[in-house]
Amino acid sequence: MVKNIIEDNNIYLRKLNLDDDLSKYLSWVNDKEMTVYMELRHKEHSIETLKRYIGSHLDSNNYLCGIFKKSDNSYMGNVLLSNMDEYNRNCDVGIFIGKEYWGNGAGAAAVTLMIDYAFDVLKIHKVNAGVISGNVGSAKLFERVGFTLEGVKKEEFKSGDKFLDKLCFGKINNR
């Protein structure tokens, strides 16, 4: 049994594992609308590529967690803590929510829980997040949960024949 790492009244987060049903995840990563602002948008994915991806995080100090609805245990997406810098006490966070769960607050709740875990359990000092400039929903999500826009990397992300800026957000542990 895989243990939840943190939960609130509506959702829980637990590390994804190789025994999880990845069918929803597979449909999401192959949906061009869902991945338009993600590096994985360039290729078709399979259950095997997802298992390799999950396995790479299981063999690291990253936290690739599934987001699950408490009421029926439905899988809603992922939240990831990565690039853990133990000396400087910082890391990155990313969020990936299934399209059917967009706009219902699950992403903000999941990021809030993951940040609580990073600050309170892992004793992280600062969490960073990068958002591609066209991804208005993600930018608003990070601002809503207390991240501050710290800078812009100009034309960092190629989308079709255009280059888009990367917005750099950060949140410092002031607890």
DSSP class of residue 59? T
- Please say if the pLDDT value at position 40 is more than 60: no
Which residues neighbour 162 within 8 Å (Cβ) at sequence distance 6 or greater? Answer: none
Tell me which of 36 and 99 has the higher pLDDT.
99
Does residue 112 contact residue 127 with C-beta atoms inside 8 Å? no
Please give the Cα distance from 173 to 121 (Å, whole number). Answer: 12
Question: What percent of the chain has a predicted confidence (pLDDT) above 90?
Answer: 63
Domains of the chain by start residue, with CATH:
4-124 (3.40.630.30)
The pLDDT of 153-173, averaged and rounded, is 92
Q: How confident is the model at residue 26 (pLDDT cuts 50, 70, 90)?
A: confident
Cβ-Cβ contacts under 8 Å for 19 (sequence gap 6 or more): none
Q: Mind listing the pLDDT tens digit for each residue in 96-143?
A: 998 889 888 999 999 999 999 999 999 999 999 999 898 899 999 999
**22-26, 31-35, 85-89, 159-163: the lowest-pLDDT one:** 31-35
Question: What pLDDT was estimated at residue 42?
Answer: 54
* pLDDT at site 141: 95
The arithmetic mean of pLDDT across residues 67-89, rounded, is 95
- Model-level pTM? 0.91
What gap in Å lies between CA 24 and CA 45, rounded to an integer? Answer: 12
Give the pLDDT of residue 39.
61
